[in-house]
Amino acid sequence: MQTLKLDAADTELIHAAEETLRRNYHPIKHSVGCAVRCSSGKIYTGVNIESCGYGPCAEPIAIGAAITAGERRISAIVAVHKRGHEDFSVLSPCGNCRQLIIDYAPDAHVIFMLDYHVVKATARHLLPGAYLSNWDSQY
């Protein structure tokens, strides 16, 4: 898989996800924060929501916040979790979130962990053989 070099905008996005989690952290209910940057340059954030039966990941919450605000093009996304008292770490998106990101932002850069390094790649490269919904063309 071809990965791309992180830049200052990526670092800003990671910090936005960390700050969202810092403000909302709960060891059981809210343990992952996410930030998405849209083509407008605006950043939207979200945290995971835990429940007894099902709780959505942070990525769909952040994507939903962007869409609710009228955004239609997501250019980058990252999720983080808390590893210690004040230590945060970038997470790789789960399979469901990879499909969601491909549905809504197939050309977005996804910042994730690969072999213990923070890297980024285009969303469509993170899920080989993905089901393609063509939802992106409706925006």
Active site members: 59
Distance CA 108, CA 117 (A): 19
**Tokens linked to 100:** 């969601």
What counts of helices (H) and strands (E) characterise the chain? Answer: 3, 6
Q: Identify whether the C-beta of residue 76 lies closer than 8 Å to the C-beta of residue 111.
A: yes
Q: Identify whether the C-beta of residue 81 lies closer than 8 Å to the C-beta of residue 38.
A: no
Distance CA 42, CA 40 (A): 6
Name the 3-class secondary structure at 77. strand
